[in-house]
Structure 1
Amino acid sequence: VVVPAQGKKITLQNGKLNVPENPIIPYIEGDGIGVDVTPAMLKVVDAAVEKAYKGERKISWMEIYTGEKSTQVYGQDVWLPAETLDLIREYRVAIKGPLTTPVGGGIRSLNVALRQELDLYICLRPVRYYQGTPSPVKHPELTDMVIFRENSEDIYAGIEWKADSADAEKVIKFLREEMGVKKIRFPEHCGIGIKPCSEEGTKRLVRAAIEYAIANDRDSVTLVHKGNIMKFTEGAFKDWGYQLAREEFGGELIDGGPWLKVKNPNTGKEIVIKDVIADAFLQQIGLRPKLKY
């Protein structure tokens, strides 16, 4: 990896990014269409920065390696080198192109491996309507939400075993014989997985969502879950989320609960903390976007 002669590191101070006039930003070109779209992206971003800051600021790009290009630089089986992870940690902000899934054993997904190694526990997705875009929704302009998805736990932990494998059979046998599980409908040829859901993981995600709502003057934070089916994981996610809102943000019950209201210290407005079953959420965001999930 060649560090640019010009440029400075982005640093973290008191929990906030300190961005210099000429930040060094690592980038991963990526696989497949990455070789086409990433160079174009660099040009577009450079042009946008030039126009926005009238030449006073400029990004110094630094290429780092993951995926197929990494195997060419570091060796045949090195898909995610330690140097890449160290540089992302050191320079704080990085951007990547699409990555392939290595064939065979080892790393199942380079994207998941990056999240887990760097503890990138939040997938933040703003969802809004852009004027002029065709839409089947009657009032698409009312769609305006920001999704915080947990990236490190639940199914993203990637704990699973293939059907008919010795490990899958061992886990299924343990569940049936030692734990008394009788709900595995077809145990003979069955893949099996585990979805961990912790109090710590839940609370840091919900904390970040509420802090975002405060900083960006949002009306509500909605805990989306399947607690009606999985009470000790999905249901616990909901309960821990409400607990966090009460204990750290002074959440007060609305009409006896479980919904809460939190006061935005910046604006004095109320932020509603609520929950919804995932099925209903997926229906209502299209039919009733004005509810502002």
Structure 2
Amino acid sequence: MSRFEGLQLKDIAAPERGERIEYRNGKQIVPDEPVIPYVEGDGIGLDITPAMKTVLDAAVARAYGGKKRLAWWEIFAGEKAMNKFGTAIPDDSFNALRYFRIGIKGPLTTPVGGGFRSLNVAFRQVLDLYACVRPVRWFEGVPAPLKRPQDVDMIIFRENTEDLYAGIEWEQGTPECAKVIEFLRGMGAKVRDDSGIGIKPISVTGSKRLVRMAIQYAVDHKKKSVTLVHKGNIMKFTEGAFLKWGYEVAKEEFGSVCITEKELFDIYNGVQPEGKIVVKDRIADAMFQQILLRPAEYDVLATANLNGDYISDALAASVGGLGLAPGANMNDEVAFFEATHGTAPKYAGQDKVNPGSLILSGVLMLEHLGWQEAADLVVKGMEGAIRDGIVTYDLARQREGATEVSCSKFAQAICERM
């Protein structure tokens, strides 16, 4: 009998070593050698994924002296999966992530001509990875458009399964679209005949579990504030409802640790009490201004899907771009970490591009495992390499006196500075 009882695989062999992450009484139990399913990724994935593995292995070895290690196990998606199995995401890959409850992937290209509209979205929706988690901070030495990029240290929790990602649409000119328009007019709406129609559902379930995860993160990491970002001034029963339900979670489930911004000033005269988290809200367009002008006032952001998409990318740009922007897609038991940029196929196999996004996603993964010592070593190494000007071409061309190195040499420089 396989030691991985219950693991259903059709086309790939089970891992040769490692153990499964367990959940007992709602708590994650991490073995000393967890199996880490990984998808190499398309395009530059074949360069940045080995670099990420090298850095994480070095950090774990240095932090724990061989007592802990990562059991890497390749699963498949994207072009490699199409070539091997004739499908962009085999069932084996979904089953592996469900079973081992963790994984990391390089960037993926969605094949043209059918199947999933987006492989990234497919993973999120099939596995119900309802939160896209994107931390953004500045690394000293990275050219950034902000005058004080060091003030940026935020983490965005973006709802992953509804709003625009639900993708309910009817094409202009089709009989189906005409029926929807007729129905909407019957409900009193004014819609032009030549319209295409899209619907954005936002639910109590989707909103509350997203905000719950964001607030719990703030509690666990001793953050000062959680900001609900919305467009509720216009879309009152979707965006506005997200705001309403978010405040309900804060009050009903975290009332002992959360206060509202109004309470901060009405009761506490603007002085935040020790151990309290301030829950506030900002209209989405105003939040764009805030991340540029007053970023130090924000720690954790919780948003519906589209707002989080814009804001996380804009925030990454404010500190130098997506090259150093990590990300994860998570639910209450499964966490799937990813590079947040594209596949850049013209650079594939050249050992040229910046692996920083995927390496920092690996840092998130180490933190998720509870291996903070190893995570801190990776960050220390990356800070040291960038500070010393040992960087890949994308950063070197923006920085006078930098030493341009390859993808693998950048990973080596990180390891040397741990």
TM-score by length of 2: 0.63
1:85 corresponds in structure 2 to 94
1:168-200 per-position Cα deviation (integer Å, ceiling 9, x unaligned): 343233323x32321x45x41x43221110111
Q: CA deviation at 1:109?
A: 0.7
1:149 maps onto 2:158 in alignment = yes
Paired residue for 1:38, among 21, 31, 49?
A: 49
Which residue matches 2:189?
Answer: 181
CA distance in structure 2 between the aligned counterparts of 1:269 and 1:155, rounded to whole angstroms: 36
**Cα drift, residue 269 of structure 1:** 1.7
Deviations 1:122-180 (A, max 9, x none): 1111112222222232222121111110001111112223344443343233323x323
Aligned equivalent of 1:283: 289
| Cα separation, partners in 2 of 1:254 and 1:74, compared to 1, 3 Å | closer
SS of 1:94's equivalent in the other structure is strand
| TM-superposed deviation, 1:223 | 0.4
One-letter identity of the residue aligned with 2:157 = F
Contact preservation (8 Å) 1:259, 1:274 = no
Match of 2:211 among 184, 189, 206: 206
- Aligned counterpart in structure 1 of residue 130 of structure 2, from 111, 121, 131: 121
Distance across 2 between alignment mates of 1:253 and 1:134: 36
Gap regions ≥5 residues in structure 2 = 1-11, 300-418
Q: Which has the higher contact order (CA 8 A, sep 6+)?
A: 2
Distance 2:117 2:137 in 1: 32
- Aligned mate of 2:149, from 126, 140, 153: 140
* Cα deviation code 1:79-120 (max 9, x no counterpart): 222221111110111111111123123311111111011110
Tell whether the 8 Å contact from 1:260 to 1:274 is kept in structure 2 after alignment: no
The aligned runs of 1:249-264 (5 Å cut-off) are 249-250=254-255, 251=258, 255=262
2:198 to 193, 207, 226: 193
Aligned-partner Cα distance in 2 for 1:2–1:210: 39
Displacement of 1:256? 6.5
Counterpart of 2:79 (choices 52, 68, 75) is: 68
- Give yes or no for the alignment of 1:234 onto 2:267: no
- Bigger helix fraction: 2
**Which one is further off, 6-15 or 107-116?**
6-15
- Aligned match of 1:111: 120
> What RMSD, in angstroms, separates the aligned Cα atoms of the two structures?
2.4
Amino acid at match of 1:212: Y
TM-score (norm 1): 0.88
Alpha-carbon distance change, 248 to 123 in structure 1, aligned in 2, over 3 angstroms: same
Structure 2 residue 135 is matched with structure 1 residue 130? no
Tell me the secondary structure at the aligned position of residue 232 of structure 2.
coil
Give per-residue Cα distances to partners, 1:9-55, cap 9 Å, x unaligned. Answer: 12222333222121111111222222332233222322222222222
Question: C-alpha distance in 1, partners of 2:245/2:265?
Answer: 12
User: Which of residues 1, 9, 18 is equivalent to 2:29?
Assistant: 18
- Partner amino acid for 1:79? A
Distance 2:24 2:293 in 1: 43
Whole-Å Cα distance in 1 between the matches of residues 287 and 220 of structure 2? 24
Identity percentage of aligned residues: 56
Which residue number in structure 1 is paired with residue 60 of structure 2? 49
Decide whether the 8 Å contact of 2:170 with 2:177 is kept in 1.
yes
